[in-house]
Structure 1
Amino acid sequence: MKKIIHIIKHLRIPFSFFLLPVYLFALGISPNISEQGILFTFIILHLFIYPASNAYNSYFDKDEESIGLLRKPPPVTIGLYYTSLIFDFIGIAWAWLISADFAILVFIYGLASKAYSHPGIRLKKYPFIGWLVAGFFQGIFTFYMAYVGINNFGWEMSLSWNVLFPGLLTSFFLWGSYPMTQIYQHKEDSKRGDKTLSIILGIRGTFVFTLIMFLVATAGFEYYFLTYYSQKFAIAFLLFMLPTVIYFLLWFALTLKNEQKASFGWTMGLNFISAICLNAFFIYFFLQTSHLGQLDL
């Protein structure tokens, strides 16, 4: 029973909440929504594919110190490895019921996530490649994948600038925030020989880098909403993100005085506030831009 509990903890299903904004953004621009497309795509990604990735990476990382949502990670067993593969299989098989295109995209995402921690490849130990791949696949690729699943569109129909541009914005946001998720793991990563981007930047450099990338991403979102929608959404995005900005600047100021503040607790706090603000905005965006009467209820 204890091993099962450990496996469930390493799946880190609540962590999917942090990745939900990409799905909600894709949903907000989707023209062909249906109850099945929305529900099935959500379940496949957030309850199977993402947890499978978490479990797989936890098995090979064998972290002894804090990782996302786990302050004290339990020991890993071979059962965790097989569980990750089972979750992957279920997710891909279910995706195939939606479309072959969606299933292939889900399969590719799974391969990329495994390459991040598998000892034979371990992209995590390459600071710039790991950062680039993580932001690409969790951003624009996931956005595109969710769009294909939600709308049941083929690859060709979905390969348009109207889909790729907002997807690219999510990647810029993730490229900015990703080093912040590594800022408290310098000791653990260095012990394994993983030289992450945050280690190269240093603690202060990580904050500055994230701030610059956040400004670039925000400018991109403002341009997008003003160009494709209206000023209302451009202003709303800034207002919804204000608590995240305040938290980040306060944390940065405290860390300048004491680098011990670059801790697990503060990092998880930023993740939670950012996810809450982004999820709330994209739910608002979806409700404003869609007509729920389209749903086949």
Structure 2
Amino acid sequence: MFSISSWLHLRIPFSYFLLPVCLFALAISPNPTNSAVLWTFLVIHIFLYPASNGYNSYFDKDEKSIGGLKNPPPVNKGLYYLSLLFDAAALILGTIMINFTFAVMLFIYGLASKAYSHPAVRLKKYPVAGWLVAGFFQGFFTLLMSYVGINKYELENLFQPEILYAGALSSLMLWGSYPMTQIYQHEEDGERGDETLSRMLGIKGTFYFVGIVFTAVTAAFVWYFFEYMGAEWALAYAGAMAPVVLYFSYWFLLVYKKESAADYSHTMWLNFISATCLNLFFLSLFVIRSSYYNLLFD
């Protein structure tokens, strides 16, 4: 019923790059259970994110590289219906396996993601508004949504400084990195009339912007871990980010000499290194600070 090209446009493996926010929520969760953790991650990363990817791909109709697809195949109407099917699966599973609050948050996220590319709204063509909305929902909102799912909580459990600060830091992290994901798409975005933040900043301007914001966000994360978990975790976070800084610096030197180096391949490598470092850090934080540590090492 659905073509191979439609399944490819869901870009399910790309969810790996968005995994750090959910793992951050897991690491600070006081009441995780195996089933809630499993279903929260499956619903968000196997259904919700791919539904968003497919829906946006259908309306973008990209012919050049996009996140997770170097050579995207042509889209068809089947992709539109497949993305809605995945959305429906996320809502049904979220309601049955977690709770209604989690399902409502999934629905709100889905609406926001659709507004990014749908021609009736198309936030993507507004550089600042699109950047703000994407960073808020993929950061702050997703962390709170994940926290609700992992712990099977209601909204009143979210209003704690540690949780709200974590959400704010997640958005800051996304706001800092998001322009870099657009840096190789300037030509195609311009042809569609989409004025992304990266196009507005320019190639080198994007690197300067990301470098400044990343430095500030790293300092904020170090403060957060020092304040809530101790100096050892603050230092561990700074150490975990070292490979990201090294690769970013190496890539910037290449781009400074030749702007054509701001390409798909280097962008995906930066995404992979950053996601891997963050995923390993947050997973280690969860294991060592939770009862799982005792189960593994008793």
The answer to whether the superposition gives a TM-score over 0.5 is yes
Larger deviation: 45-54 or 154-163?
A: 154-163
Matches within 5 A, 1:45-56: 45-56=44-55
| Structure 1 position 40 matched with structure 2 position 39 | yes
How far did residue 117 of structure 1 move?
0.2
Q: Distance in 1 between matches of 2:292 and 2:274?
A: 27
Q: Structure 2: which amino acid aligns with 1:58?
A: S
Q: Is the 8 A contact 1:34 1:294 kept in 2?
A: no
Give the stretch that moved more between structures: 15-24 or 154-163. Answer: 154-163
Q: CA deviation at 1:294?
A: 9.3
Supply the RMSD in Å over aligned alpha carbons. 1.2
Who is 2:146 aligned against?
146
Structure with greater contact order relative to length (CA < 8 Å, sep ≥ 6): 1
Q: Is the 8 A contact 1:138 1:171 kept in 2?
A: yes
Q: 1-side partners of 2:223 and 2:162: how far apart?
A: 13
User: Could you say what secondary structure the match of 1:219 adopts?
Assistant: helix
Q: Which amino acid aligns with 1:283?
A: L
Whichever residue aligns with residue 34 of structure 1, its letter is T
Shift of 1:159: 2.3
| Residue in structure 2 matched with residue 69 of structure 1 by the alignment | 68
Counterpart of 2:251 in structure 1 is 251
Matches within 5 A, 1:191-270: 191-270=191-270
Q: Look up the match of 2:95.
A: 96
CA drift of 1:20 comes to: 0.3
Contact 1:28–1:286, Cα closer than 8 Å, also in 2: yes
**Higher deviation after alignment, 116-125 or 235-244:** 235-244
Whole-angstrom CA distance in 2 between matches of 1:180 and 1:293? 36
Q: Deviations over 1:48-102 (max 9, x none)?
A: 0000000000000000000011111000000000000000000011111111110
Residues 255-288 of structure 1 deviation map (CA, whole Å, 9 limit, x = unaligned): 0000000001110110011111110111111111
Q: In the alignment, what sits opposite 2:277?
A: 277
Identity value in percent: 57
- d(CA) in 1 for partners of 2:137, 2:213: 17
**CA displacement at 1:248 relative to structure 2:** 0.2
Read off the aligned partner of 1:277 and give its amino acid letter.
C
Aligned counterpart, 1:287:
287
Alignment map for 1:55-204 (pairs within 5 Å): 55-97=54-96, 98-204=98-204
C-alpha displacement of 1:160: 2.0
How far apart in 2 are the matches of 1:294 and 1:62? 50
Distance in 2 between the 1:108 and 1:30 partners? 22
CA separation of 1:88 and 1:228: change in aligned 2, threshold 3 A: same
Q: Partner amino acid for 2:43?
A: I
Partners of 2:287 and 2:293 within 8 A in 1: no
Q: 1:293 to 1:260 in 2, by over 3 A?
A: closer
Report if aligned partners of 1:33, 1:294 keep a CA contact under 8 Å in 2.
no
Q: 1:293 to 1:201 in 2, by over 3 A?
A: closer
CA contact (8 A) 1:26 1:144 kept: yes
State the AA in 2 paired with 1:292.
Y
SS at match of 2:276: helix
Within 2, Cα distance between the matches of 1:167 and 1:290? 20
Letter of the 1:256 partner, please give it: Y
Q: Runs of 5+ in structure 1 lacking a partner? A: none
- The one-letter code sitting in structure 2 at the alignment partner of 1:29 is I
- Equivalent pairs counted in the alignment come to 294
Rounded Cα–Cα distance in structure 2 between residues aligned with 1:237 and 1:100: 34
C-alpha deviations, 1:117-149, integer Å up to 9, x for none? 000000000000000000000001000000000
Q: Deviating runs (4+, > 6 A) in structure 1?
A: none
Amino acid at match of 2:22: Y
Deviations 1:222-241 (A, max 9, x none): 11011001111111111111
Distance 1:242 1:94 in 2: 38
Q: Which position in structure 2 is the counterpart of 1:8?
A: 7
Question: Which amino acid in structure 2 is aligned with residue 87 of structure 1?
Answer: F
Distance 1:109 1:159 in 2: 19
